[in-house]
Structures are given as structure tokens and as C-alpha cells.
Amino acid sequence: MADRSLNILVAEDDCVSAMVLRRALEKLGHKVTIARDGSEAWDLYFENPFRIVISDWMMPNVDGIELCRRIRSLQDNNYTYLVLITAKTSKEDRLLAMELGADDFLTKPLDVPELTARLVVARRLLDAQDTALAQAQQLSRMVEVVDASKKRFSELFMGLPIPCVSFDADGILREANHAAEQLYAFSPESMHSDLVWDRMCDASDAARFREFALNIVKNHDHTKGPAHPCDASTIEWVRTKDENLQFLLGTAFPLRAGDGSIVGGVCAVIDLTRERTLEKHMIHQIKMTNELNEQLASANFELERLATTDALTGLRNRRYFVDCLNKATCERSSELALMMIDVDHFKAFNDQFGHVEGDTVLRQVGQILSANCPEGSVAARYGGEEFVVLLRNVDLSGAKYVSETLRRAIEQNSWPHRPITISIGIAMLGEHATNSNSLIVAADEALYRSKTLGRNRISISECLEKAA
Amino acid sequence: MQERHVACRNIMQFDREFIAQISDGDLEFESDLVSSFSASSNLSLQVIDDAIARQDLATASRELHTLKGSARSVGAGKVGDIAFTLEQNLKHSIVDESLLNRLKEVLAEVRAEVQDWPTAA
């Protein structure tokens, strides 16, 4: 303290004693105000902040004891040190004075060294009191700062648009912000003492949530500092609210005390219901679309098959065959042989045994042709009782060989009503038959010759025969 | 002059050493202090006389108490002692007239001593 001077009030009705006292106190560097009696002292005490009051005991009207009692009854923040001057030495008197608020006594006549020593004691007590007061004020300011920061944090927590709850180390709910209150229809009163897993999710998820929350509280390194985002864990769960399912995602991290020990956890909740519902809807849609696609592909495949298949025999139909032939003749990538096949005397068979039996024969011929054609060949029904086979990568002798195989297979099959035979005409793509049309014409011409030569035989086209 | 000084010394009512301790050698303060005492003690004496005259022993006693304190504050030991004895007697309703006269004599000596008090040069 730079200023060691004290403001001292002296109440003394004897002007000579007052003079002596003023002299002594001013010599010690203090500021002195003299009151002529107790009531004047009482008035002055209100006007100035005196740290020390030195009062004569015996004064008219308000005496020293009464002055002590009045000053003490004020309960001022700043302590006033009260000294009574007396010739009285009775122990009872002194005890009464101390009980009423006197701190110390001086005797008349004044002894200056004693006064100095007693003022040192007074100063020590007042300094201690000042220090205590300053500390109390500082503490009060710190409390204010802490309170303000607490309030700010609380407003931040409460106002977050994400539902947040905190829980203690036993999992008991401590706080919930407004968003959480809204999501969970919490009332702040009802919340405390409830376990977080009992309030946050359906009973079916409670055990899982309990494990999650207790892991947050227990399984973290206690020596670590404040909560780090890495400490956060997440959990997804489902909750029924008003008979609707809520899909929720919780992110939780531990809460630590000043010493780093975990005292609880905070869990922020994100409502994924909309996303999860959309996701579910989308998955359903995709599944439906896939099923439809499969059905469509299968229908297309069937349609394609139907469009290129002869309904009676199951062989390829004429349209498909013509396409194949056109492509193959255009490519000219290999030797092509075309066999034109006709069931002998089929009209007569039909007339004699009926169309149903005739159809059975055609179906069976189709099966035999299909079974005996080499791989890579195309067998088709050309129309009526006419069939065609397109062979790739064969020369004339290969074509003849295949034709003979087919002719024999038909001939040797056991037929129900009468033997069935076929006539075959072969044409090769080449100098005399350069496209699909001329190839068909050539094969047809060869077939016609097989017919005129007695049926159940193989003929090659005239041009080939001449060339050979 | 020399003789008078000796006489003064013989009847000295103030403890000069005591006063010097209070004043710390400030002669002006010493002079003010003893003048104040001289004036206030004479006023006290008047109050005491009047009070005794009308048998108001309480007022006389209180005034004697003040005079006693005042006297002891300035090192006027004899005044203080006489005032103390008178005060004690008054508490037993005894008015010691001869002692009261002695107080008056002593206070007269105080006045004389104060009049001759050395002032600051």
C-alpha cells in the first residue's frame, strides 16, 4: 500500500487530551478529525470513511460505549477499528466494551510509544481485512465470469438445432437441449434420473444403446485431455413415435472433468427417418424395376424365339432362314451349301391320313433333321412339307455326305402309317449361284430333278454337275 | 530575574520532560497546549464551584473527572491528583473544601507558569 496514512476520527470532549492525541497521530502520518463529543462523532462518521475511531469512554450524551455499539450495528463492509480511551481498569468494564465492539483500549495519560504499537496492530488487522475484501471481490468477479460463460455455453447447447443430450457416468440423463426436448417430447422435470437408453430408443434397442453409452463413458483413455472428435462413436437405432418409425443416428463423445477423468457423455442425434424412408422406397423401386426388366428380357427373348421359330416343328422359320442365308452369302466368308428338302408324296399322305397325322410327320421330320445336322448349320421349315438346311464350311462332297445321312435317317425311321422318304437338292454358292436367290433357285432345280428321278434321293444342281 | 526563575522552577506544575516528549521539541505546540489547559482548567473550576454551590455533586464529579484526564494529558500531575481525590470524595458525597482551595491555588500557579511559558524564538 503506497498510502500508509489512515483516516482517524477522535472523539474527545477534553480539548487538551484531543490536542495531545491529534499531535501524536499526525506525527505518525495519519489524518485526524476531532469530534467534541459522541453525537458529533456519530454525525462525522457518516460523512467520512474512517478506518479507525478513537473515542474517550466518558463523554456527555453519547459516550464511547454507545458510539461503539452504534458503529458496530451498521454492519458495514469496511471494518472500522474501534479504540476506547479510558482510565478505567476494571476487567468487567473492558469485557463489556469489547462485547459491544471495542477492539482495543488506550489509557490516559497518553503514552506515545504504546499508541504507535497499538496502531501497528490496528493497521495489521485493517490490511488483512482489506486483503480479504479484495479477494472476496475478485472471487465475486470470477464467479460472474464463470456464470456468464456457463450461461453462454448453456444457450449455445440449448439452441443447437441438433438434438443433444448429456448423461453421467452411470448413464443417467442430465441435460437435453430444446431440439432434443422436441424430438423426444421431454419435459425438463421428467427427464432427470432416467437412464439414457430407456428414454432414447425402443426397448428392443435399449441393450445395444446401453452398451454404446457405457463404452463412451468407460472405454476411453482417462489420461487424455479434453474430448476429441476421434473419441466420438456412432450408433443407429430405431424408435417408435406416434406409431411411426424413426430412424436415428447418434454421435456420442465423453465429457471430462478438469482433471481429465470422464464424468459422462454427450450424444447428438440426427433424424434419418426421411433419408431411410426414401432409401427404402428407392431400394423397393430398384427391385421392382429389375424384376420388370427381367420379365421384359424374358418376354423379348420369347418373342424373338417365336418370331424366328416355326410353330409346328420347332425349327427355324423361313424368315429367319432367309436372313441367315442373306448374311452368309453377303459375307462369303466360307463355303456354303444349301439343301432343299421335300417330303415325298406328302399330299397323298395328308389326303389319306388327315392333316393331324401329316403334321405329326412334319414335326418328326423336323426333329430328325435337327438331330442329324452338323453344328453350325441352320435347319428351317421353308413352307408346307419343304425344309432347308444351310451348311457352312463344307465342300460338295461334305454336303452330299450330310444329305445322305439325313435321307437315310428319315428312311430308316419307323413311321406309323407308311414309310416316309425325302428328296434333296443341293446347291453350292459359287460361280453359278452368286447370291441367295440364285442359290435357292439352283437348289430348287436340283430338288425337282430328285423328284422326277424317282424321289428318296439326292441331286446336285445342274451347274455343279456340269462343272464336275 | 534570576531569583524569579528559581522561584518558578520550585513551583513548577508541568512535567516539562513529559510535555517535550509529546511536542517533540515543538515549542509553539507546547505553548498552545499549556495555554489550552490553562483556559479549560479555569472553565472547569468555575463549573465545579457553581455545581458544588448548588449541591449538584454529579456535575461537579464529572467535571473533576475531565479535569483530571486533561491535567494528566499535559503532565500537570498535581492538578490531576487533587482532581482525582476530590472526585473520589464527591462519590461519597464529601466536599473537601480545603482540598478544593488547594486546587484553586495550584491552578493559579498553572496560570502563572503558562504566562511565563517560553515561546518559540
Say how many C-beta atoms besides its own lie within 10 A of residue A353's C-beta.
Answer: 15
The answer, for A354 touching chain B at a CB cutoff of 8 Å, is: no
Residue A127 — φ and ψ, nearest 5°? -60, -45
| Three cell numbers, residue A49 | 470513511
The answer, for B62 touching chain A at a CB cutoff of 8 Å, is: yes
Interchain pair B62, A60: CB under 8 A: yes
Q: Going by C-beta distance under 8 Å and a sequence separation of 6 or more, which residues neighbour residue B91?
A: B61
| Res B11 pLDDT > 90 | no
Q: Distance between CA atoms of A425 and A298, rounded to whole angstroms?
A: 38
| Three cell numbers, residue B64 | 473533576
Interchain pair B22, A112: CB under 8 A: yes
Indicate the pTM of the whole model. Answer: 0.51
Reference A213, options A275, A287, A267, A290; nearest CA is A267
pLDDT at B5: 46
Residue B74 — φ and ψ, nearest 5°? -105, 10
Residues 44-103 of A with CB under 8 A from B: 56, 58, 60, 87
Interchain pair B70, A17: CB under 8 A: yes
The answer, for A29 touching chain B at a CB cutoff of 8 Å, is: no
**Which long-range CB contacts under 8 A does A132-136 form with residues at least 24 apart?**
A133/A77, A133/A78
Reference A29, options A46, A48, A52; nearest CA is A52
Closest Cα of chain B to A15: distance in Å? 8
Reference A439, options A426, A450, A452, A448; nearest CA is A426
- pLDDT 10s digits, A30-67: 999 999 888 999 999 888 888 899 998 888 788 888 98
Can you list the alpha helix ranges (DSSP code H) found in A266-395?
A: 273-308, 318-331, 346-372
Confidence bin at B10 (pLDDT 50/70/90): low
Pairing of strands A81-86, A52-56: parallel
Say if residues A173 and A167 touch (Cβ distance below 8 Å): yes
Confidence bin at B2 (pLDDT 50/70/90): very low
Confidence bin at A90 (pLDDT 50/70/90): confident
In this prediction, residues A272-289 reach a mean pLDDT of 91
Confidence bin at A1 (pLDDT 50/70/90): very low
pLDDT at A222: 53
Say if residues A133 and A113 touch (Cβ distance below 8 Å): no
pLDDT at A391: 94
**Three-state secondary-structure class, residue A22:** helix
Q: What is the ipTM of this complex?
A: 0.84
Confidence bin at A219 (pLDDT 50/70/90): low
List A234's β-bridge partners, or say none: A251
Based on the residue annotation, tell me whether A385 is a catalytic residue of this protein.
yes
In this prediction, residues A243-249 reach a mean pLDDT of 86
pLDDT at A239: 84
Any idea which residue has 397323298 for its cell? A348
pLDDT at A451: 95
Q: Distance between CA atoms of A6 and A28, rounded to whole angstroms?
A: 10
The rounded percent of chain A whose pLDDT value lies above 90 is: 41
pLDDT at A332: 77
Q: Where are the beta strands (DSSP E) in A192-312?
A: 233-241, 244-256, 262-271
In this prediction, residues B13-30 reach a mean pLDDT of 86
The answer, for B13 touching chain A at a CB cutoff of 8 Å, is: no
| Res B121 pLDDT > 60 | no
Say if residues A389 and A369 touch (Cβ distance below 8 Å): yes
Of A13, A27, A110, the CB nearest to B73: A110
Confidence bin at B7 (pLDDT 50/70/90): very low
Question: Which residues in B lie closer than 8 A to residue A20 (C-beta atoms)?
Answer: 22, 33, 73-74
Pairing of strands A233-241, A173-176: unpaired
Candidate ranges A126-140, A349-363, B8-22; pick with highest mean pLDDT: A349-363
